[in-house]
Structure 1
Amino acid sequence: MLKLLSAPPNPLRPLFRSVTYTRWLHLLVAVVVAAACVVVFPGVGDVDTVRGAWLLVVPLPLLVALGLLPRTRLAEGMQAQLLLFPAEGEGGGGQFGAAPSRSWGDRGRTVLWLVLRYELGMATAFLSVHLPTLVVRLLGAAGDRWWCVPAALGCLVLLPAFVIPVGAVAARAARALLGPSAAERLAALEARTERLLEHNRLARELHDSVGHALTVMVVQAGAARAVRSEEFTQRALEAVEESGRQALEELDRVLKVLREDVPAPARRPSLAEVERLLAAARGSGAEVDAEVTGAPEAVPGPVSREGYRILQEALTNVVRHAGAVPVSVRIAAGPDALELEIRNGSPTGAARGPAGGAAGGSGSGLRGIRERAALLGGRAEAGPDGDGWRVRAVLPFDGALGNAA
C-alpha cells in the first residue's frame, strides 16, 4: 500500500546528482590514452572516417601491458573509488582491493577493466563532442526546417540518456573487476577475526588487572575506616596508591592498543612480579602463605603471563568474596608444566560460593581462569575444599610453544 501511494521516480533526478558527472569525467579520462596513440599514429586521429575506427583497437596492446603491472590495479581502484563512488552512500566503500595485483587472476581482471573502460570512454567522448556540435548545427538551421528544433532537443536528451546508464555499468564492472579477490576477502576476514580476538583478550586482561586493583582499593579503604588506626590507615593509603597506579598503567596500555589498533606491546606482567601481587593481597588483610618451587623465571613467556593473570584473578576473588582469611598459594614450576594452587578458608558465618566467598558471585572470573588454561592446552578447576575453596591450574609448556609457533 505504501508503495502504491509513494511518488513515482523522478527521471530528472540523476541530472542533479554529483555522481553522474564524476562518472562522466571518469569515462572521459580514456581520451588521454587515445590522444597518446594519435601522436604516435597520426592517421587514426580522424574519427569521422572509417580509418578512425582503428583508434578503438590500436591502444589495446598498451592497455594489456599496463594491466599486467601490479600497481595498475591499485591506481585504478583509487580512481574508481573517488570518481565512480564519490559518496559513501553510493555503496563504494570497501569495494576495491587496497593492494597491487598479487596473482595472474588479478592482472587478468585489471586488463579486462582497462579495455572495457577505454571502449566505454571512447564512446562517451565521441558523443560528448559530436552531439553538442550537432545541436548547434540543428538550431542554426531551424529557420528553414521546423523539425530541427525537436531534433536538437532529442540530441540534448540523448547525451545524458547514454552517459547515466553507461556510468552505472562502469561502476558495476569496477566492483566486479577491481574488487577484492576471494583470497583478499579471506585475508581481510582473518585479520578482522584476529583483531576481535585481540580486543577480547585485552578486555579480559582489563577485567582482571583493573578489577583486582579496584577490589584491593575498596577493601583497603573500608578497612582503614573501620580500624581507625593512623598507622594502618597510612599503610592502606600506600596500598591504594600503588594499586591505583598499576590500574592506570594497565588502562593506559590497553586503551592505547584499542585506540591505535596496533598489536599489544610485549610488556605484560609475569610471574617474575608475583611478589607485588602477593603483597597487594596481604595489604588487603588476607593472610597469604606462598610456597614457590622450581624456577619461575625459566617458565616460557606465555605461560608465565597467563599464570600471573590466573593467580591475580584467584586472589582478587578471595579478597572480594572471602575477605581477610588465610590463603595458601603454591607455585610449582616443573620441567614441562606450571602448576598453581590457591586455597582459602571461608569467613565466619559466610556461605560458600564461587571463588570461595559469599554466595551470589557471578562466576565470570572462574570462567576466565578456565579459558586462559584451555588456551595453553592446560586445565583449571575450582570448587569447595573442606570449609574453604580451592583453585588449581596446570599449564603445560608445550601448549605455549605450539601457540607461539
Structure 2
Amino acid sequence: MIRALFGARARRRWVHLVIGGALLMPYFLVGTVIVASVGRPDVSPFGSFPLPLVTLAVALPFPAVTALVPIARPLLVFGVRTLCGVDPAALADRPSRSWDARLRAAAWYTLHVTAGGILSGMSLALPPFAVLLMALPVFPGLRHTPYDAFGPLATGWGVALAPFAGIVLLLGLAACSAAAGALLARLAPVLLGPTPADRLAAAERRATELAVRNRLARELHDSVGHALSAVTLQAGAARRVLDDDRAFAREALTAIEETARHTVGELDAVLGLLRQDGADLAGPGPTAPGLHALDDLLIRTGLEVAYCVRGDPGAVPELVSREAYRIVQEGLSNAVRHGTGRTVTLHVAVADGELEMVMENPASGAAPVVRPGGGRGLRGMAERAALLGGHATAGSEGGVWRLRARLPLGGARRPARAAR
C-alpha cells in the first residue's frame, strides 16, 4: 500500500497531474473572464463553492479545441510515456490524421487538465491544513481562528484527535492522486492509442518495408549468387586442367576476374542504395542489365549455352527486360549447381504482347543438396514474374531441368506503392 501511494510511479503520476493543473490555468482564467462578464464582476471565481465549478465547466471547451491540432497527440503521448508508466507500444506515436484520433486526443487532454486541476487544488489546500491540524495540540493559539476553520477539532477530545485527522487528510490526498493517476494510465491506450486507420497505415508501412527488403534480397541473391556459382565452376575447371591445358586455365582465370569485377559493381549499386540517408527505397532499385546484356552473361557463366532469339528484344520495355535478365541469371545458376555441366539451351521469344523464355539443361540425377535457408532463388524468380503479371516455373521433367517464364509486355509498370 505504501508503494502504491508513495512509490516512484505514484510520484511521477502526481507530477503528471500537477502539470495538467498548470496547463488548465490559462483556460481557467479565460473562463473567469467569461463568467465575470455575464455575472457580477465583483464576485471572485475562487469564492463560493459552486462558482469555481461553473468557471471550470466554461473553461473546458477551450482545451478540447486546442487538442484537435494533429501535433497535439504526439506531445500528449510523450508526457504519458514519460510519467504515467504506460506501455509505449500501446500508444500512437504519430500526429492525428483522422477526426476519430483528434477527438480522442481532445477527450484525453480535457480529462487530464480537469483531473490535474482538481488534484492541484487539493495539493495546494490540504497539506497546509493537515499540518495545522497536527500542530493544534502543541500550539493552543491556533485553535481560535476567525472563521472557526477547525470546528469541533479545536475543543475537547477533538484537539487530541486533530493530528490523526491531519494524517488521514494526507493519506486521502495520496489515495486520490494514485487513483486519478491509475485511471489516466488505464484510459491512455484507449484515447491515445492507435486508431484503426493508424493500424492500417502501420501495416501498409510494414508491407512496404518488407517489399523493399525482399527486392534488395532478390538483387543480391541473383547477382552475387550467380557470380559465385560461375566462379566456382570456372575455378574447378581451371584446377582440373592446370597442368595439361594452361591456355584454358588462363582463360578460366580471366573469366573469374571479369565475373568478380562485374559483380562488385552490382554489389556496390545495392549497398550504395542502402547507405543513402533518406533514400526512397520503394522507388526504382539498382539498375540491372537487360536482355541486350545476355550475350555477356552467357559467356561469363562458363557453360556451353545454345542461345536462340525470336522476335525483337529491343521492343521489350526496360523493366521487363531487366527482370527477364535476372530470371535467366537465376536459371543459369541452377544449371551450374544442379546440372551435368553439359550444354544449356535458352529460347527467348517476343510475340503476341509477351516475352517467353524457356531454359533447359540435363539434370544430374543426383539428389538436390538442401542448403540451410536455400530455395530463395526460385521463389524470388517467381516473385519477379508475378509482380509483372506473369508467371515462372522451374523443375525437373524427365531428366531435364526446365525453366519456363512468361512476362506480359504490358505489365511494364511497378506495383502501386503502399500508402504512407
Alignment TM-score, normalising by the size of structure 2: 0.78
Whether 1:275 and 2:295 are equivalent positions in the alignment is: yes
Q: Report deviation, 1:37.
A: 4.4
Q: Report deviation, 1:375.
A: 3.6
**RMSD of aligned residue pairs (Cα, Å):** 3.1
* Structure 1 segment 351-366 matched on structure 2, within 5 A: 351=365, 358-362=366-370, 364=375, 365-366=377-378
Contact 1:44 1:54 in 2 (8 A): no
Paired AA for residue 93 in structure 1: A
Paired AA for residue 96 in structure 1: A
Contact 2:27 2:60 in 1 (8 A): no
Contact 1:270 1:301 in 2 (8 A): no
Q: Report deviation, 1:361.
A: 4.6
Q: Report deviation, 1:246.
A: 4.4
Cα distance change on mapping 1:250 and 1:25 into 2, 3 Å: farther
**What residue in structure 2 maps to residue 5 of structure 1?**
none
**What residue in structure 2 maps to residue 163 of structure 1?**
177
**What residue in structure 2 maps to residue 24 of structure 1?**
14
Show structure 2 runs of 5+ residues with no match: 34-42, 141-158
Q: Report deviation, 1:94.
A: 5.0
**What residue in structure 1 maps to residue 106 of structure 2?**
111
Deviations 1:110-132 (A, max 9, x none): 22222211211112101211121
Contact 1:64 1:111 in 2 (8 A): yes
**What residue in structure 2 maps to residue 216 of structure 1?**
230
Cα distance change on mapping 1:234 and 1:180 into 2, 3 Å: same
Cα distance change on mapping 1:38 and 1:340 into 2, 3 Å: closer
**Cα distance in 2 between the residues matched to 1:93 and 1:384:** 48
- Segment of structure 1 superposing worse, 164-173 or 249-258: 249-258
Contact 1:33 1:59 in 2 (8 A): no
Cα distance change on mapping 1:267 and 1:335 into 2, 3 Å: farther
Cα distance change on mapping 1:251 and 1:51 into 2, 3 Å: same
Q: Report deviation, 1:341.
A: 1.7
Cα distance change on mapping 1:301 and 1:183 into 2, 3 Å: farther
**What residue in structure 2 maps to residue 355 of structure 1?**
none
Report percent identity of matched pairs.
38
Contact 1:380 1:392 in 2 (8 A): yes
Cα distance change on mapping 1:81 and 1:384 into 2, 3 Å: closer
Counting matched residue pairs gives: 378
Paired AA for residue 359 in structure 1: A
Cα distance change on mapping 1:383 and 1:150 into 2, 3 Å: closer
- Segment of structure 1 superposing worse, 105-114 or 233-242: 233-242
* Structure 1 segment 300-311 matched on structure 2, within 5 A: 300-311=317-328
Alignment TM-score, normalising by the size of structure 1: 0.81
Show structure 1 runs of 5+ residues with no match: 1-10, 352-357
SS at match of 1:118: helix
Cα distance change on mapping 1:98 and 1:315 into 2, 3 Å: same
Could you tell me which of 118, 121, 128 is aligned with 1:126?
Answer: 121
* Structure 1 segment 3-402 matched on structure 2, within 5 A: 11-14=1-4, 17-37=7-27, 39-40=29-30, 41=32, 44=44, 46=46, 49-85=49-85, 90-100=86-96, 102-143=97-138, 145-228=159-242, 229-251=245-267, 254=270, 263-264=281-282, 265-271=284-290, 272-281=292-301, 284=302, 286-322=303-339, 324-334=341-351, 336-345=353-362, 350-351=364-365, 358-362=366-370, 364=375, 365-382=377-394, 388-401=400-413
Deviations 1:346-376 (A, max 9, x none): 5xxx42xxxxxx4325593445434433343
SS at match of 2:309: strand
Q: Report deviation, 1:27.
A: 1.6
SS at match of 1:210: helix
Deviations 1:76-130 (A, max 9, x none): 2333233324xxxx41235124123x33323322222222112111121012111
**Cα distance in 2 between the residues matched to 1:75 and 1:165:** 23
Which has the higher Rg, Structure 1 or Structure 2?
A: 2
**Cα distance in 2 between the residues matched to 1:266 and 1:238:** 30
Contact 1:77 1:98 in 2 (8 A): no
SS at match of 1:338: strand
Cα distance change on mapping 1:247 and 1:74 into 2, 3 Å: same
Paired AA for residue 239 in structure 1: A
**Cα distance in 1 between the residues matched to 2:396 and 2:50:** 94
